[in-house]
Amino acid sequence: MKSSMEKIFNLLKNKDVPITNLKKFSFFIVGVVIISLILIFNPLFSKLGPIIIAIFFIFSISLIWIMAGYVVFKSLLTASIGLTFIIFIGQSYCAPNVVHSANDSLKIIIGFGFLYVVINFLQNLYKELFGDKNLKEELKNMGIIAILKKANKNKHSWSTLIIYALFISLFIWQIYRVINPIFNSLCIY
C-alpha cells in the first residue's frame, strides 16, 4: 500500500504538480475515505448520509436559484415601469366605452414600447451579470458572473453557470407566460 502511494506521488511530482496541491489532494482523499467508512459502517450515518447530501444539494441549488431570481427581478424592475405604462395604454384603449379608431397607431406604440422595455431589460441584465464599470461599489462593478468566478478561485464552474443560466431562462419564461395573455387580450390583436 505504501509503495503504491509513493509511486502515485512520484508520478505526480514528475508531472510538475506543486507539492502544496499534492498535500491538498491527499487530505481530500483521506477525508473522503474517512467519511465513506463512517457512512458505510455506522447504520445511523448510512441512513442519514444520503439525506444530508440531498439537503446540501438542495441548499446549493436553491442558492443559485435565488441569485438568478435576484438578477432577473432587479433587471425587470426598471423595465417594468415602461411595461406597466404600455399595458395601461393598451387596456385603456380597449375599454368598452372607447371608440377604437387608431388600432394601427396603438400597435406601433405598443411595438416600440415593448422593444424599448426588452432592450432596457437586457441592458440591465447584462450589467447585473457582467458588472457596471461606472459604479464604485466592488460587487456591482464586478457582476454576478465575476463574483462566481472569484468564489471559485478565478475559474469558471461551468456546471454552476449552466444551472444559473437555466434558472434565468426559467424566470424569463415564467414572466413571458404571465405577460403574454395580457397582450393577447388587447382588442387590437
Tens digits of per-residue pLDDT, 38-50? 777 877 776 777 8
State the cell numbers at 134: 461606472
What pLDDT does residue 139 have?
A: 58
**Residue span of the structural domain in which 9 resides:** 1-41
Residues 79, 131 within the same domain: yes
Q: Categorise residue 94: left if φ over 0, alpha if ψ from -120 to 50, beta otherwise.
A: alpha
Residues 144, 103 within the same domain: yes
Residues 85, 159 within the same domain: yes
**Total residue count of the chain as it appears in this document:** 189
96 in any annotated domain: yes
168 in any annotated domain: yes
Q: Are 82 and 120 in contact (CB under 8 A)?
A: yes
* CA 80 – CA 73 distance, rounded (Å): 9
Residues 71, 159 within the same domain: yes
Residues 80, 166 within the same domain: yes
- Which residue type, as a one-letter code, is found at position 15? K
Q: With a cut of 80, say whether residue 12 has pLDDT above it.
A: no
Tens digits of per-residue pLDDT, 99-157? 767 777 888 888 888 888 888 888 888 888 777 776 666 656 677 777 777 777 777 77
Residues 136, 93 within the same domain: yes
* CA 76 – CA 120 distance, rounded (Å): 9
Name the pTM for this structure. Answer: 0.62
75 in any annotated domain: yes
Burial class (CB in 10 A: 0-12, 13-18, 19+), 183: middle
Residues 83, 154 within the same domain: yes
The domain total for the chain is 2
